[in-house]
C-alpha cells in the first residue's frame, strides 16, 4: 500500500491546492503539525536531538 500526502503537514490545507512554498521553507526548521494522511492535529514534542510527532490514527514520525 502506498501512502500519498493528501494534506499539508504544516498548515493542514489540501496538499494540491497551492504550492505551499512557505510551508516547505518552514518545515526545514519545524516539525509537522498535521497528519498528512488524515489532517488530524498531531501531538508534537521537540527535543534537543530532534522531534517526534504522533497521530492517534497513523502513529509516530520522528525527525
Residue 13 predicted with pLDDT over 50: yes
Residue 19 predicted with pLDDT over 50: yes
> Model confidence at 57, in pLDDT bands (50, 70, 90)?
very high
Reported as a single tens digit per residue, the pLDDT across 2-12 is 456 699 999 99
Output the CA–CA distances (angstroms, integers) from residue 39 to 47, 49, 56, in the order listed: 23, 26, 11
Burial class (CB in 10 A: 0-12, 13-18, 19+), 55: buried
DSSP type of residue 21:
H
pLDDT, mean of residues 40-56: 95
> Model confidence at 60, in pLDDT bands (50, 70, 90)?
very high
Amino acid at each position: 500500500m502506498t501512502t500519498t500526502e493528501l494534506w499539508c503537514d504544516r498548515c493542514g490545507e489540501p496538499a494540491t491546492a497551492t504550492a505551499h512554498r512557505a510551508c516547505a521553507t518552514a518545515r526545514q526548521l519545524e516539525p509537522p503539525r498535521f497528519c498528512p494522511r488524515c489532517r488530524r492535529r498531531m501531538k508534537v514534542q521537540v527535543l534537543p536531538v530532534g522531534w517526534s510527532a504522533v497521530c492517534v490514527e497513523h502513529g509516530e514520525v520522528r525527525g
